[in-house]
Amino acid sequence: MAEDSAAVKQPVSLPKLGLHAQVCELEVSVKSLYAATRTETFQALITETLRTSRKEAETLRTARSQRQPKALISAKRLEALKKLKEDVNDYIEGKKSAALRFFDRQAVDKEKLRNEINLLRDDNTLLQQSVVKLQRRLREVELDLGE
């Protein structure tokens, strides 16, 4: 079965003599004609779609221009732009104030942590001094017991 599929995939290995050569040439020309026809069909379809879209866009432009005068459109656009700018500025100001509150909270927390660290360092120093004193006292007791 594998040999059959190999033979089908590779028709080049067959000798092209007489009628067989003409059939192969005819198959190639039919395939190229079919491909060219498909290409032309797609091209015509794309051209027609483009033409229809352009007509529709032009129709929409004329309908819009007939409904509203340009001055009114400009005023509406300017009003919308102004509102949009105000909304953006309000949003930015809100984000800035939220960021400032966050940084203030962080500064307070940082100060609290710094104070706790200093307290722990002081406690550590006191404990180390106590350990040194206890070690000295232990040596003294050992010396007293050794005598």
pLDDT of residue 2: 47
pLDDT one digit per residue (tens) for the chain, 147 residues: 444 444 444 454 445 555 555 666 666 666 666 666 777 777 777 788 878 878 888 888 887 777 666 656 678 888 888 999 999 999 999 999 999 999 999 999 999 999 999 999 999 999 999 999 999 999 999 998 887
At residue 6, the pLDDT reads 46
CA angle centred on 144, ends 142 and 147, rounded to 5° = 105
CA distance 111 to 107: 6
The answer to whether the predicted template modeling score (pTM) of the entire model surpasses 0.85 is no
- 86-100 CB burial, b ≥16 within 10 A, e <16: eeeeeeeeeeeeeee
Return the pLDDT at 64.
74
- Per-residue model confidence (pLDDT) at position 56: 82
